[in-house]
Amino acid sequence: YTDATNNPCFYNMDSTPICVMIPWDRNPKALAKWAEGRRSFPWIHAIMTQLTLDGRIDHLARHAVACFLTRGHLRITWKEGLKVFEELLLDADWRV
């Protein structure tokens, strides 16, 4: 959180030496399924459905769906997940 708050380029991997370049997948269909809770993983589906309906999810649920998106299964950049979280989360904060 401290790095993200105090480093104006933290979100931009190209200009931040502390970030490792990751070869992300670009898969709009998989991203849409994740965001809409239409994955064949009941736990992820339930969390994304709750997020869509309520605008809030538990911190462990946030971690679960973020990991599923980025390094757990889909390998899609966190920036795409950020867009979904900013749209749906009532308390969205990109630094967290």
The binding site comprises 91-93
Alpha-carbon span 5 to 22, nearest angstrom: 22
Alpha-carbon span 16 to 68, nearest angstrom: 24
Question: Binding site membership for FAD: which residues?
Answer: 91-93
Alpha-carbon span 85 to 56, nearest angstrom: 10
